[in-house]
């Protein structure tokens, strides 16, 4: 049994390499950090810094001294996101005492990645931390260190911090914001840097929000998948309690936007319109309906718009509302303004309607694969609105223009969006994409990494070549949305046509290890790696080609114990004892977390096996994994057949097929 621990330690070695820990944390957190660029000061100097996104609607936390040069002017700065997009932002609140500043994107796209607050009080000296920032303008630089001291409301760290890091995050191994990096009084000393604690910073931010000092630019109702951006400069009213059914309201100069929600199964839209008008006639006298139109709105056929005039408190007003039946609710956006201002403000109201997002398309986009199914279905039907509803349009256009969209002004971006819509409308009407879809597409199993995912789409090109394109997606309150697509590549694992059934199967090849102790059937395109730890221990890894950074894989560990165990087969009790020793070795590889969530008797390759279901994490920087382990024994050979995925990730269907194809072929002699 002396080799069992070595066997298990090697079985999942690829998931615990130290050089992957910080990489994974950077990939997770960097998208929620920003590069801050201020306008030149009086001496012509441009001040640079860093920041953290603390609200998905565009609130950013940084240092006051980073934005100090713009505080006497228009308080505007430029913000660059990790994906290359550029936005103008306004400094909405600062604290000189704490050296903190809150910035707000002026034209936020919403649904931005966010750094979650961590508890700085729970930190201990010696804990690992990382910092992400832009020292001397070197964007998204990563530095690592430890907590070297706790000084009242400051964290001392050995992570190198230089000018340009200011305002950026100090991050815990769990990927949480535990400090705001700031100026150091020890500029000429090595390994002495400081960050304002997250608890002090969070308390200050929350006080500003509670006092109404910071207006979130976009309203989100994640529970119902609805969001919109009010006109710039409009203030949150906070009078929901006085208006039954109201979700939110914003006020401008003598004008107001009110959003109402009726949860539950929607009524017939015409019945709703009749009841709404009857109610308004009772409440408002005099009341004059100027227009009523039933329309298709954002792919929804159950919608109407109504314009009406009325008098209130001696003044004349006009209201314009759009009511939409959603999947599980009815929404109404109502804009009211003085009658004299209606013509002038109508374009602003129209802009709010156009940037509103409803959840239509959420049903059917709960997973990356379902989102791609909805995308393909929209192409096949030539439904432009349904197609656009599947896209995170800003991210999609930024990907398509290689970053030019993100660098453009808000006006130019809107023009690009309108142009793209017109182009896609023409493409849809032409029908080429629908024809390509009709030739056959296949959606491969996706890989999920936090709030992002990739999904392969196999199709037949217009030249008859089978190709695969890798799409990227992002999770949002309205389901998974497509954000970009890679180049089309020849699909080597193209389905081979079945002669009779009309079905298709993936080309497979048998893998047999050097010692001829086992075999499995693998997709021909998959990557394989093998390593001998000793003369008697070896392990083999199988993963989808192109998924090298993913923890998802199938592994088979093999140990030759013929010299230790004379039996060719083991009793159920002896197999269970051996399996438990195997799991003890497995547990030794996972210091941060190791939980056996299930154990049962099973079979693998037609022989008895002990099956374990495990949740584990090697250390604080490593991803959490979920694994199924089948331990079996035959003819003096011990096997661990292991299927690994990241926590919450849907296993590739090929994993089950590979495990099912396992055959123990080791011989006694």
The answer to whether residues 227 and 110 touch, using CB atoms and an 8 Å cutoff, is: yes
Which one is catalytic: 3, 52, 55, 65? 65
Q: Is 305 a catalytic residue?
A: no
**φ, ψ dihedrals at 502, nearest 5°:** 80, 0
HEC secondary structure over 91-113: EEEEECCCCEEEEEECCCCCCCC
**Taking Cα atoms as reference points, which of 213, 332, 347 lies closest to residue 275?**
332
Which residues, 6 or more positions from 668, have their beta carbon under 8 angstroms from its beta carbon? 562, 568, 635, 636
What angle is formed at CA 382 by the lines to CA 380 and CA 388, rounded to 5 degrees? 105
Told to judge if 69 belongs to the known catalytic residues of this protein, a careful annotator would answer no
Q: Catalytic: which of 55, 69, 99, 589? A: 99
Chain mean position to CA 630: 32
Give the phi and the psi of residue 354 in degrees, each rounded to 5: -70, -30
Residue 94 pairs with which residues in a beta bridge? Answer: 101
Q: Which one-letter DSSP state was computed for residue 68?
A: G
List of residues 6+ apart from 666 with CB closer than 8 A? 515, 516, 517, 518, 558, 560, 634, 635, 636, 637
Helix (H) or strand (E) holding 417: helix 410-430
Residue 521 token pair: 């059937």
Say whether 144 sits in a helix, a strand or coil: strand
d(CA 456, CA 65): 46
Q: Is 65 a catalytic residue?
A: yes
DSSP tag of 571: -
Cα distance between residue 508 and residue 364, in whole Å: 31
Tally of CB atoms within 10 A around 350: 13
Give the number of other CB atoms < 10 A from CB of residue 283. 10
Q: C-alpha distances in angstroms, 171 versus 52, 148, 625?
A: 11, 14, 21
Token pair belonging to 72:
């006497």
- Active-site residue (options: 52, 166, 227, 319): 166
Contact 255, 335 (CB under 8 A): yes
Query: CB of 38 within 8 A of CB of 70?
Result: yes
Closest CA to 388 of 364, 352, 417: 417
As a dihedral over the C-alpha atoms of residue 207, residue 211, residue 217, residue 220, rounded to 10 degrees, the angle is 80
Could you list the active site residues? 65, 99, 166
């Amino acid at each position: 049994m002396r080799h069992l621990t070595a066997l298990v330690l090697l079985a999942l070695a690829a998931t615990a390499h130290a050089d992957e820990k910080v990489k994974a944390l950077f990939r997770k957190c960097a998208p929620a950090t920003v590069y801050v660029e201020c306008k030149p000061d009086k001496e012509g100097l441009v001040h640079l810094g860093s920041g953290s996104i603390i609200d998905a609607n565009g609130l950013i936390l940084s240092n006051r001294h980073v934005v100090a040069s713009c505080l006497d002017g228009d308080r505007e700065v430029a913000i660059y996101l990790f994906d290359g997009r550029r936005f103008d932002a306004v400094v909405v609140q600062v604290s000189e005492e704490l050296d903190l500043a809150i910035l707000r994107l002026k034209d936020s796209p919403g649904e931005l990645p966010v750094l979650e607050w961590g508890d700085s009080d729970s930190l201990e000296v010696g804990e690992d931390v990382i910092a992400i920032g832009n020292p001397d303008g070197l964007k998204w630089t990563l530095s690592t260190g430890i907590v070297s001291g706790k000084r009242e409301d400051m964290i001392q760290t050995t992570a190198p911090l230089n000018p340009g890091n200011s305002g950026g995050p100090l991050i815990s191994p769990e990927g949480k914001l535990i400090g705001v990096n700031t100026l150091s009084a020890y500029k000429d000393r090595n390994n002495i840097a400081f960050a304002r604690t997250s608890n002090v910073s969070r308390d200050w931010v929350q006080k500003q929000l509670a006092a109404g000092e910071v207006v979130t630019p976009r309203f989100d109702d994640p529970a119902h998948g609805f969001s919109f951006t009010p006109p710039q400069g409009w203030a949150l009213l906070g009078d929901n309690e006085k208006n039954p059914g109201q979700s939110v309201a914003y006020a401008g100069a003598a004008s107001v936007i009110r959003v109402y929600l009726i949860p539950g199964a929607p009524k017939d839209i015409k019945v709703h319109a009749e009841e709404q008008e009857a109610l308004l006639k009772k409440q408002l006298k005099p009341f004059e309906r100027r227009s009523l139109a039933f329309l298709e709105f954002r792919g929804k056929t159950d919608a109407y718009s109504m314009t009406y005039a009325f008098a209130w408190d001696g003044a004349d007003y006009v209201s314009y509302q759009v009511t939409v039946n959603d999947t599980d609710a009815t929404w109404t956006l109502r804009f009211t303004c003085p009658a004299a201002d209606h013509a002038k403000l109508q374009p602003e109201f129209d802009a709010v309607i156009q940037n509103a997002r409803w959840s239509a398309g959420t049903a059917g986009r709960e997973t990356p694969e379902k989102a791609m199914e909805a995308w393909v279905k929209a192409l096949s039907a030539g439904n432009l609105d349904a197609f656009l509803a599947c896209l995170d349009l800003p991210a999609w256009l930024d990907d398509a223009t290689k970053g030019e969209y993100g660098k453009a002004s808000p006006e130019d971006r809107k023009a690009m969006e309108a142009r793209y819509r017109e182009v896609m409308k023409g493409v849809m009407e032409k029908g080429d994409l629908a024809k390509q879809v009709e030739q056959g597409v296949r959606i491969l199993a996706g890989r999920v990494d936090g709030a992002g995912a990739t999904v392969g789409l196999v199709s037949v090109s217009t030249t008859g070549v089978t190709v695969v394109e890798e799409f990227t997606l992002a999770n949002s309150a309205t389901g998974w949305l497509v954000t970009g697509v890679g180049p089309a590549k020849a699909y080597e694992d193209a389905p081979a046509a079945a002669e009779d059934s009309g079905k298709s199967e993936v080309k497979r090849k048998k893998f047999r290890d050097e010692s001829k102790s086992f075999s499995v059937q693998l997709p021909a395109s998959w990557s394989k790696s093998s390593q001998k730890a000793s003369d008697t221990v070896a392990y083999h890894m199988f993963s989808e080609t192109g998924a090298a950074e993913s923890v998802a894989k199938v592994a088979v560990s093999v140990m030759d114990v013929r010299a230790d165990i004379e039996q060719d087969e083991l009793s159920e009790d002896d197999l269970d004892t051996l399996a438990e020793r195997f799991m003890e070795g497995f547990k030794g590889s996972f210091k941060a977390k190791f939980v056996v969530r299930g154990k049962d008797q099973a079979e693998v390759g037609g022989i008895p096996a002990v099956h374990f279901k495990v949740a584990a994490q090697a250390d604080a920087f490593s991803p959490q994994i979920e694994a199924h382990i089948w331990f079996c024994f035959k003819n003096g050979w011990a096997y661990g057949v292991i299927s690994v995925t990241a926590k919450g990730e849907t296993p590739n269907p090929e994993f089950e097929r590979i495990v099912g194809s396992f055959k123990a072929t080791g011989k006694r002699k």
